[in-house]
Amino acid sequence: MDQKVILIADDADLNREMLKLIFNEQFYILEARDGQEAIDTIAANKETLSVIFLDLVMPNKDGIEVLKYMADENLKGRIPVIMITGEATDATDEKAYEYGASDIIYKPFSPNVVMRRTLNIIELFESKAILEKQLVEETNQFDQITNELKESNAFLIDMLSSVVEFRGTESSDHISHIQTFTSIMLNYVREYYPKYGLTEEQCKLITIASALHDLGKISIPDSILLKPGKLTPEEFAEMKKHTTFGSDIIAASKKNDSEFYTYCYDICRYHHERYDGNGYPDRLSGDDIPIWAQVVSIVDVYDALINKRVYKPVYEYNEAMRMIKDGECGVFSPEIMDCFDLAKEELIATTIIK
């Protein structure tokens, strides 16, 4: 049967008997004669208890200790506690509420009032529990949808990037390398250079956006993109345009101003800029180059060095590190160089595993 269970904890049997008289038709009644018994009974029946009547002054642990036990066990919001007290003073009332009682009844008991308030409080807690359950379910659903959206976004971006990659000459793992290296570098930037104000969530978005850095190569003719050997100055000038082609494509697809749009645009356009102003296409310098573009720049160079390309041999990791440090691939900011140094071991480890 669906009979509700209540616990009456009071050291005076007369008080328990009076409450039993009120409730024994509608409820299944458990009794405790002191605080310790109350705690044991609560522990054994915490799933089924609908309400607890608790006397404040009891031997072997008083009512306050029972409430503390309930707070420790996280039962406070789940099982309502009605304090039984002899004196209706503001001080004792305040104390009872402060320790988490839901309501207070005074001796002598008035049966109708006690019954009415008890039923109200049970109903209140039951609907609260139902609402909480619904909220948890809805939150789970929402999280699931958000995750699916994030996954499908990342999937589409990877696919788009792969289209460029397959046509090009870069190793098939270039995109995933860039993302992994970008993520590693960003962790160091975030930790050691709080001045850039990067959050974990922003770093995730930047990592996704990094896949698109060479998107503009889709507009570079095969004769240049796939040419083995050195490009002529005219061809190189054309090749450099992949940065602006990329940012143009991004700008053309712009729906609204968002962080993610900015990361995609900046990374496409500025990932060949250099700290000293000797990069392209806009010859930006210093921290005019967004930090996310600076990060993608250096990991793009690093990945290019350690992988074979039509136009260059493959370099060993340490040699690649040395070339970057010596400025052979252009100048990077001191902060970026510092993070690259900090990330060195991790970058090499990830590269070897791959």
Partner 1 sequence: MTAKEFYDKIGGNYNEIIGRLMSEDIIPKFCDIFFENDCYQQLLDGMNEKNVDKAFRAAHTLKGISANMAFTQLTLISSAITECLRAGDMDGASIIFPKLKREYEKAESAYEELKN
DSSP structure string for 130-165: HHHHHHHHHHHHHHHHHHHHHHHHHHHHHHHHHHHH
- Provide the minimum distance between the beta carbon of 120 and partner 1 in the complex, in angstroms, as a whole number: 20
Pick the closer one to partner 1 by CB: 75 or 114: 114
- Provide the minimum distance between the beta carbon of 111 and partner 1 in the complex, in angstroms, as a whole number: 6
Pick the closer one to partner 1 by CB: 16 or 213: 16
- Provide the minimum distance between the beta carbon of 80 and partner 1 in the complex, in angstroms, as a whole number: 21
**What is the distance, to the nearest Å, from the Cα of residue 195 to the centroid of all Cα atoms in its chain?**
22
Pick the closer one to partner 1 by CB: 10 or 273: 10
H-type alpha helices, 46-173: 63-72, 90-98, 111-167
Catalytic residue among 217, 240, 241, 254: 217
DSSP structure string for 275-286: TTS-SSSS---G
Active site annotation includes 195: no
Structure tokens of 70? Answer: 């309930």
For binding to partner 1 (CB under 8 A), which residues are involved? 11-15, 17-18, 21, 57, 59, 86-87, 107-111
- Provide the minimum distance between the beta carbon of 24 and partner 1 in the complex, in angstroms, as a whole number: 12
- Provide the minimum distance between the beta carbon of 23 and partner 1 in the complex, in angstroms, as a whole number: 13
Pick the closer one to partner 1 by CB: 11 or 73: 11
**What is the distance, to the nearest Å, from the Cα of residue 56 to the centroid of all Cα atoms in its chain?**
43
CA–CA distance, 153 with 208 (Å, rounded to integer):
9
CA distances from 183 to 213, 251, 253, 288 (A): 14, 24, 25, 22
Alpha-carbon radius of gyration of the chain: 34
Residue 73: partners with Cβ closer than 8 Å, 6 or more residues away = 42, 43, 46
Pick the closer one to partner 1 by CB: 113 or 130: 113
CA–CA distance, 54 with 57 (Å, rounded to integer):
9
Positions annotated as catalytic residues are: 217
